[in-house]
Structure 1
Amino acid sequence: MDLKLEVVVIPVSDVDKAKEFYIDKLGFRPDADYPIQDGYRIVQVTPPGSPASIIFGEGLTTNPAGSAQGLHLIVTDIEEAVRELTARGIDVDGPFHDATGAFHHAGGTHRVPGLAPERTSYGTFASFADPDGNEWFLQEVTVRAPGR
C-alpha cells in the first residue's frame, strides 16, 4: 500500500496576507481558493517542483497561527536558493549545519554557520518564516540516500 503525503495544513491569521507571501514572494503555484462560506475558506498552493501542497485558510485547523514548525523544502543548491529568497525580500537564516553533523536541532541550538563539512547531502540548512511565524527550512540534497 502506498501512502503519499500530498497536503499539509498550516495555520495562518490572515489568509490574503499568507496567499500574497506564498504565491507572490515564494513563487508557489496557486491551485485553489474556495471561499465556501463565511469563516470557511480553503487556499491550496504548491511549491515549484513539489508533488505535495500546503493548504491554509479559515476554519481548517484549531492550531494557533504560526505554530507549524519544521516544514522542509528540499533544494539542490542551498546557496542559490538563499540568494533567490533574499532577492525576493525574504529574511533567511543560513546556510548552516548542525554541530552534531546530523539533522538540525529545534529552536536554533547547535547551529554552525556555513555549509556542512564536505557539503554532504542532507547536511546543510537555511530557515525562514512566513508572516505568522510558521517555520520553514531549506535542506540541501544533492545525492539521495538509497531507496529515496
Structure 2
Amino acid sequence: MELKLEVVVLPVSDVDRAKAFYEGLGWRHDADFATDRGLRVVQLTPPGSPASIIFGEHLTDATPGSVRGLHLVVTDLAAARAELAERGAEVSEIWHDQDGVFHWADATNRVPGAHPENDSYASFASFADPDGNEWVLQQVVDRLPGR
C-alpha cells in the first residue's frame, strides 16, 4: 500500500502574515477558505513539491512556531539559499554536521560550509517563517536507491 504525505499543518499566530510570507517565497497558493463555524484554511505548495502546507484559524491547537526540521530537498543548495534570501527569507549560512549525521536540534554539531566529500544528504541551510516554524534545506544531487 502506498502512503503519500499530502499536507503538513503549521501553527501560526497571524494567518495573513504567514500567507504573505510563503507567497513571497514563490509558493503556489492553492486555497484560502473559511467556514460558517470560523474555520479558515490556507494551503500553499512549495515549487516542485507534491506535498503542501496548511495553516489557518481554529485549525490546530499547537503553539505557533513549534514545528521544527521540515526538510525541503534541493539540487543546488547555494542557488536555493540565494533565491530564498532574495525573496525575503532570513536563511542561515550553509553548514554540514561534524559527524556526518544530521542533528537538527543540535546546532553545536554544525560546521560552516558544504560537506567537502558528499554532494547529497550532507549539506544544509535553514530558515524560519515569521512565527519561527523551522525549515531545513537539504542538498540532494544523487538520490539513494529506492528514493
TM over 0.5: yes
Q: Indicate the SS of the match to 1:94.
A: coil
| Alpha-carbon distance in structure 2 between the residues aligned to 1:131 and 1:107 | 22
TM-score w.r.t. structure 1 length? 0.95
| Alpha-carbon distance in structure 2 between the residues aligned to 1:37 and 1:139 | 40
CA contact (8 A) 1:97 1:115 kept: yes
| Alpha-carbon distance in structure 2 between the residues aligned to 1:104 and 1:95 | 15
| Alpha-carbon distance in structure 2 between the residues aligned to 1:31 and 1:95 | 30
2:21 corresponds in structure 1 to 21
Q: Indicate the SS of the match to 2:67.
A: coil
| Alpha-carbon distance in structure 2 between the residues aligned to 1:103 and 1:94 | 16
Q: How big is each residue's C-alpha offset from its partner over 1:19-66, in whole Å with a ceiling of 9 and x where there is no partner? A: 000012x11000000111363100000000000000000111110100
Unpaired stretches in structure 1, ≥5 consecutive residues: none
Q: How big is each residue's C-alpha offset from its partner over 1:76-106, in whole Å with a ceiling of 9 and x where there is no partner? A: 0000011111111211112100111122341
Q: What amino acid sits opposite 1:88 in the alignment? A: R
1:122 corresponds in structure 2 to 121
| Alpha-carbon distance in structure 2 between the residues aligned to 1:79 and 1:53 | 23
Which deviates further from its counterpart, 49-58 or 115-124? 115-124
| Alpha-carbon distance in structure 1 between the residues aligned to 2:106 and 2:39 | 32
CA contact (8 A) 2:69 2:104 kept: no
Which deviates further from its counterpart, 116-125 or 77-86? 116-125
Q: What amino acid sits opposite 1:9 in the alignment? A: V
* Residue 81 (structure 1) aligned with residue 80 (structure 2): yes
Q: Indicate the SS of the match to 1:117.
A: coil
Residues 1-148 of structure 1 correspond to what in structure 2 (within 5 A)? Answer: 1-24=1-24, 26-37=25-36, 39-148=38-147
| Alpha-carbon distance in structure 1 between the residues aligned to 2:119 and 2:80 | 17
| Alpha-carbon distance in structure 2 between the residues aligned to 1:47 and 1:83 | 16
The list of structure 1 runs, each at least 4 consecutive aligned residues, that deviate by more than 6 angstroms after superposition, is: none
How much has 1:138 moved relative to structure 2?
0.3
| Alpha-carbon distance in structure 1 between the residues aligned to 2:127 and 2:37 | 31
CA contact (8 A) 2:121 2:140 kept: yes
Which deviates further from its counterpart, 135-144 or 33-42? 33-42
Identity of aligned residues (%): 63
TM-score w.r.t. structure 2 length? 0.95
Q: What amino acid sits opposite 1:103 in the alignment? A: F
How much has 1:135 moved relative to structure 2?
0.4
| Alpha-carbon distance in structure 2 between the residues aligned to 1:27 and 1:145 | 28
